[in-house]
Structure 1
Amino acid sequence: VIDLSTIDPVTSAAERKVYESRGIAFLDAPVFGTKGEARDGGLWIVIGGPEDVYKKSLPVLEPISETLHYMGVGGNGTKMKLVGNLLVASQIVSIGEALTLAKKAGLDLTKVLEVAAVADFKTPIYAGVGAGVIKDDYEVNFPLKLMLKDARLIQAFASRLNSPVSIAVTTEELAKEGVDGGMGELNASAIVKVISNRAGVNLSE
């Protein structure tokens, strides 16, 4: 069994225990990427479980992935997914705050994004989210309601390890505000709209 979902590592461990008790091999293999990457075979997959089982799974995983990352023992794929989602959340929140500040300061957001696309802090998320925001485009690739779920998973995971995750706390607060405001089915980048609404500015041009 290969579980591609984003879930709590505790849940993944319980799944693995049940399957292995029945003699069924189990891999936790959550994915990074949107529906576009899934359609085009461009997912980035992080895998935990027995290495021999991972190697046997390659004919299944390779056609849907751009890269595969074997993270080690069972559970490590799920843990890596939450670590990665924390990085994603931090970038969405930071581009939202940065664009909102820039707008209030009277800067041209197109020019702001031109700088963000080439400077040493550039990321694909800044580019993609920024381009969508200034067009008021929140077409769903990954819905905001699932980002809210993931922010809570990250906090639960980190709490058990006594590791601070202030970005996840902020993300949960912003995502919940958006979901409660009817944005749950919009793209996760709608967090930016929540931030700009708080500041009383419209980021679309």
Structure 2
Amino acid sequence: MATVNWGKLGRYPPWPGKIVSPPKDLKKPRGKKCHFVKFFGTEDHAWIKVEQLKPYHAHKEEMIKINKGKRFQQAVDSVEDFLKKAKGKEQNSDGKGDSKGKKTSNKPLKILEEDDEDLSALKDPSEKASLSLPYEINSVDLIVKDTGSTSIQAADSTAINGSITPTDKRIGFLGLGLMGSGIVSNLLKMGHVVTVWNRTAEKCDLFIQEGARLGRTPAEVASMCDITFSCVSDPKAARDLVLGPSGVLQGIRPGKCYVEMSTVDPETITELSQVITSRGGRFLEAPVAGSQQLSNDGMLVILAAGDRTVYEDCSSCFQAMGKTSFFLGEAGNAARMMLILNMVQGSFMATIAEGLTLAQATGQSQQTFLDILCQGQMASTFVDQKCQNILQGNFKPDYYLKHIQKDLRLAISMGDMANHPTPMAAAANEVYKRAKALDQSDNDISAVYRAYIH
């Protein structure tokens, strides 16, 4: 195996790194034939499976063609500099090693971990900033304050091998859509005992095969489980799930916990919180920022509010499904924050689609527009993936267009109630409504592009 290689970790693209000796107290992962790799251009290290390593020189041109990012180019420059210096030392020493007397750093290593296709990061507890990865991640960087903060990184207690100690509480999960399916899969993978229910019962079959139990009704799941999560499409579905026939409320007893993960309005959250607690139950809202892919990868960002003790009881669950979580105080705050985030994302996606179509209308290359965009300050995995999918005509849903339009509508209403103008969101909302009229509801949010070409 060559010393300098391309190493691939989880869902992220290959990155140049060199095989190094791991710290003496760091155990090699069981059942994996792998090497300890330090990535160029960063201070990150990881155990990389042998089959995920490729020789640097043999695949250099291939990798450079598929990754044009500035940080990637800086990493490649670091490799070339390293190889040039290594060659010079080899010539000067006539082939003799020069490691004698070399000083080693006592600085704690940043170690990236992979469990199947999930990525877990272990940080030095003294570090306040989020881990700097050699890849662009589709979410904001986080700063965790240690005094008076409402932000908590749920992944801080994740073990070094990427495993999680699951809670001994019985977990229920209602709703196996784009987001819920990935969440349940990760809960099961990390050893939680999960009972599932879905309006379309056939969607439960795969999870039953993976070890989940089947609940016949929402009420039965809530009565059987200590903590019941739900993730459905909109406020009406969330209310029906709790208040409807054989709904969650019928299964709530004193001490039972209900966690609403759907993106809904604050008023719906307040109503559900009141009815759950009126039966002696405990309530937490925990909508998630992300997409189907991030849900599958266990990389969601969880926004929680309500009963703080429920939040703490959900710690291992949040570690399994997300990369970080925030506790935002009283119930309703997470709904407000989630709507604001999705308002920004929806408006941004509509603007990108408008830019792509304006480029085409003025005789400019859409691919060149994207290439320039991805070299500037707005470069991100989100922009690159959405635009490439648009140019390829691929609108397979990662986040439903109808749901982002619903979120825009709720955000605008929230702005009206706060007497705060939201003209950008209102304009974007009209574009999404046109896309829905063109039968794009069940496509990805990037299908808003089609509203501009019809």
TM over 0.5: yes
* CA displacement 1:101-126 (0-9 Å, x = unmatched): 21122222212111111211223332
User: 1:42-57 residue pairs with structure 2 within 5 A?
Assistant: 42-57=299-314
Alpha-carbon shift at residue 49 of structure 1 (Å): 1.4
Which stretch shows the higher mean deviation, 51-60 or 15-24? Answer: 51-60
More strand by share: 2
**CA displacement, residues 129-161 of structure 1 (integer Å, 9 cap, x when unaligned):** 111111111111122222222121111111110
- AA aligned to 2:311 is Y
Question: Is the contact between residue 438 and residue 451 of structure 2 (CA under 8 Å) also seen in structure 1?
Answer: no
Find the partner of 2:330 among 73, 78, 82.
73
Higher relative contact order (CA 8 A, sep 6+): 1
1:128 counterpart letter in structure 2: Q
CA distance in 1, matches of 2:438, 2:360: 23
- Cα deviation for residue 28 of structure 1 reads 0.8
Give distance in 2, aligned partners of 1:30 and 1:156: 18
* Equivalent residue, structure 2, for 1:202: none
Deviation at 1:61, TM superposition (A): 1.5
Q: What SS is found at the alignment partner of 1:69? A: strand
CA contact (8 A) 2:360 2:366 kept: yes
Aligned mate of 1:174, from 431, 444, 454: 431
- C-alpha contact 1:6 1:30 (8 A) present in aligned 2: yes
Match of 1:193 in 2: 450
Mapped to 2, the partners of 1:156 and 1:124 lie a distance apart of 30
Question: What amino acid does structure 1 have at the position aligned with 2:345?
Answer: V
Give the C-alpha shift of residue 75 in structure 1.
1.2
Identity %: 26
C-alpha deviation, 1:12, in angstroms: 0.5
User: Is 2:343–2:411's contact at 8 Å kept on the other side of the alignment?
Assistant: yes
SS in 2 for 1:178: helix
1: CA distance between counterparts of 2:447 and 2:401?
A: 7
User: How much does 1:172 deviate?
Assistant: 2.1
Runs in 1 of length 4+ with deviation above 3 angstroms?
A: none
What is the RMSD computed on CA atoms of the aligned residues?
Answer: 1.4
2:377 aligned partner, one-letter code: D
Question: In structure 1, what is the equivalent of residue 351 of structure 2?
Answer: 94
Q: Give the CA deviation at 1:168.
A: 2.2
1:116-131 aligned at under 5 Å gives the runs: 116-131=373-388
Looking at structure 1, the residues matched to 394 and 408 of structure 2 have their Cα atoms a distance apart, in angstroms, of 23
Query: Does 2:362 align with 1:105?
Result: yes
Q: How many residues align?
A: 197
- Equivalent residue of 2:438, what SS? helix
Structure 2 match to 1:137: 394
TM-score w.r.t. the length of structure 1 is: 0.90
Amino acid at match of 1:79: R
Alpha-carbon offset, residue 52 of structure 1: 2.8
Unaligned runs of 5+ in 1: 198-205
**TM-score, normalisation: structure 2:** 0.42
Whether the aligned pair in 2 keeps the contact of 1:140 and 1:187 (CA below 8 Å) is yes
Please tell me the residue identity of whatever aligns with 1:165.
T
Residue among 286, 307, 311 paired with 1:29: 286
Higher helix residue share: 1
Cα shift at 1:189: 1.0
Aligned-pair CA distance for 1:25: 1.2
Note if contact 1:92-1:125 (Cα within 8 Å) is conserved in structure 2: no
- 2:240 corresponds to 1:10: no
The runs of 5 or more residues in structure 2 that have no matched partner are 1-257
For the residues of structure 1 that align with 2:379 and 2:308, how far apart are their CA atoms? 35
Deviations 1:70-123 (A, max 9, x none): 122211111111010011012101101111121122222212111111211223
> Is 1:20 the equivalent of 2:280?
no
Larger Rg: 2
CA distance in 1, matches of 2:346, 2:450: 14
